[in-house]
Structure 1
Amino acid sequence: MVGRKKKRTRSKSSLGNYQRNWIWGRHAVMESLRANQWLPEELHLAPEILDSSILNEVIRRAKSSGIDFQEATAESLTQLCHARDHQGLVARMPEFPYCSLDILDAPSNDKQRFALVLDRIQDPFNFGSILRSADLFGVSTVLIGEREQVGVTSHVARSSAGAVNFLNICRVPNLCEASQRLLATDYQLIAATEKSSTPPSQIDFRSNTAIVIGNEGTGIDPDLLNLATQTCAIPQSGHIDSLNAAVAAGILCYEVARQRTHADP
């Protein structure tokens, strides 16, 4: 994957106000600690409901990274994050450290690179679900815009099950310009649109590929769509005329992984 040496900077400002600057749950908190890229500013843990192995790992990693932590009761954690599904772990996070677009020029061990371009995904649970699929199926870089696009919030981090920690997420002012840079670095740009007549199985994803996923309501911006080297649409046979953006992204990511696995077992 691209970007093990990530050009990220930690910010002293918090992720947001109230719930937005807290993540909770074992997957979200533990993956943040393990990845050592987006580290909590403080940790609160409830030993009464944590397995001893998890408790020991949390304390060890917190001490190693210099993170303040304190023990608490399960009820106090509920009051802290205003949620009961914390599973004994709550963390206060700084702003997410987005990667520079220069990550595209970094050396890679991947034979074929794989990126996602997300155009104005506004639902945090959709965004988190897309990131989860991206990590599972070999995406290394995710490009998002600064406008009309949800950023990495606590809801996104939790719905991604911690996948935000293992992807190069670039937040850029102009997706069209960023996509042109992808094209200049030998990516094919594949736009997912219901207006296409080409199914994903008829596209060769074994070369460097960036897939564009559009807004939940309006799809891909026309200017961005015009940059695509090819378009595709997932075949459907039901009564609903479109797929959820996160579901569509997951299917397309799987197809890329399927083709590449078949080509290089």
Structure 2
Amino acid sequence: MSMDNIAGRNPVMEALKSGREIDKILIAKGTEGGSLIKIIGKAKDRGIPIQYVERQKLNEMSSSDVHQGIIATVAAYEYCEVEDILENAKSKGRDPFLLILDEIMDPHNLGSMMRTADAVGVDGIIIPKRRSVGLTSTVAKSSAGAIEYVPVAKVSNIAQTIDKIKDMGIWVAGADMSGSKEHYNMDLKGPLALVIGNEGEGISRLIKEKCDFLIKLPMVGQVSSLNASVAAAVLMYEVFRQRSHSDIQK
């Protein structure tokens, strides 16, 4: 198996708490106190080796220098199947809520989306095998631990996957400025998959055609678009709001 790194105190702690298989934990010499004490204690309880190294080594291993003096070396993150995500939603006794990402390339965007997805109860994320960022240590860091709780399925063909979930009765909504209605004027309750497009080009033409409907975010400023993770967060919270309001009415 290929190896990957989880950098930062919070992501490492979440990996420990979730029971993730960890090869070893590297800690910068001279790094002490705070949350590190709890991390070391939990690692020792699980019999995970702890190695103290020069900070420069962690700088070289990390894609950024914001590792907070600690890196866990782990096996590459495992992906699940779309069926696993749907079964997970079914086991909770609620309508599925999926996030489909069409060629998201920035690991920070994916991590941020995962963090919001965990907050609003998204059952899982679907990404394509090609032209998409995968589950890397940078994604893990950006997700602030959410990567341990939000399942991700990697599929060969997003268009075919959309057809498949539509056959299961799940509505597919695409985020696009050409949408006929604003997000708060659309009924986003019930089984739903929300599609977010590439940072520069948005949703591809084929995927846009596969969507049941398109929704847009109103904008009155001079900049014509939002960051992909920000747009995704706004839309995910609107779905969450509508579902929560519906539950209260029941």
Question: TM-score when scaled to structure 2?
Answer: 0.89
Name the structure 1 match of 2:2: 13
By how many angstroms is 1:212 displaced?
0.3
Say whether the 8 Å CA contact 1:135–1:167 is kept in structure 2.
yes
Residue number in structure 2 paired with 1:176: 159
Q: Secondary structure at the match of 2:75?
A: coil
CA contact (8 A) 2:125 2:151 kept: yes
CA distance in 2, matches of 1:186, 1:111: 13
The answer for the alignment partner of 1:9 in structure 2 is none
Give the aligned partner of residue 243 of structure 1: 226
CA–CA distance in 1 between the matches of 2:106 and 2:56? Answer: 29
Q: Structure 1, residues 55-81: CA drift from partner, whole Å, max 9, x if none?
A: 2444334542x53323x2673664553
- What is the match of residue 44 of structure 1? 26
Q: Which of 153, 178, 195 lines up with 1:195 in the alignment?
A: 178
Shift of 1:44: 1.7
2:103 equivalent to 1:114: no
Residues 1:81 and 2:81 are matched in the alignment: no
How much has 1:198 moved relative to structure 2? 0.8
Q: How much has 1:39 moved relative to structure 2?
A: 3.0
1:229-249 CA-partner distances (Å, limit 9, x unpaired): 111000111011111111100
Match of 1:59 in 2: 41
The answer for unaligned runs of 5 or more in structure 2 is none
Any gaps of 5 or more consecutive residues in structure 1?
1-11, 15-20
Q: Does 2:80 correspond to 1:99?
A: yes
SS across alignment from 2:91: coil
Q: Is the 8 A contact 1:77 1:88 kept in 2?
A: no
Alpha-carbon shift at residue 145 of structure 1 (Å): 0.0
Q: What secondary structure does 1:93 align onto?
A: strand
Q: Is the 8 A contact 2:58 2:71 kept in 1?
A: no
RMSD: 2.1
Aligned position for 1:222: 205
Indicate the residue corresponding to 1:258 in structure 2. 241
In structure 1, the partner of 2:121 is 138
The verdict on how the C-alpha distance between 1:239 and 1:48 changes in structure 2, with shifts beyond 3 A counting, is: closer
Paired with 2:174 and 2:136, the residues of 1 have a C-alpha distance of 26
Partner of 2:112: 129
- Work out the CA distance in 2 between the residues paired with 1:206 and 1:261: 9
C-alpha distance in 2 between matches for 1:139 and 1:102: 15
Return the letter of the residue paired with 1:89.
Answer: I
Amino acid at match of 1:75: R
- Identity among equivalent positions (%) equals 33
Can you list the C-alpha shifts for 1:49-105, whole angstroms capped at 9, x where unaligned?
A: 232x652444334542x53323x2673664553554322321112111000122144
Higher strand share: 2
CA distance in 2, matches of 1:102, 1:121: 22
With over 3 angstroms needed to count, the CA separation of the structure-2 counterparts of 1:151 and 1:204, relative to structure 1, is same
Question: What amino acid does structure 2 have at the position aligned with 1:98?
Answer: Y
The question of whether the paired residues in 2 share the 8 Å contact of 1:50 and 1:87 is answered with no
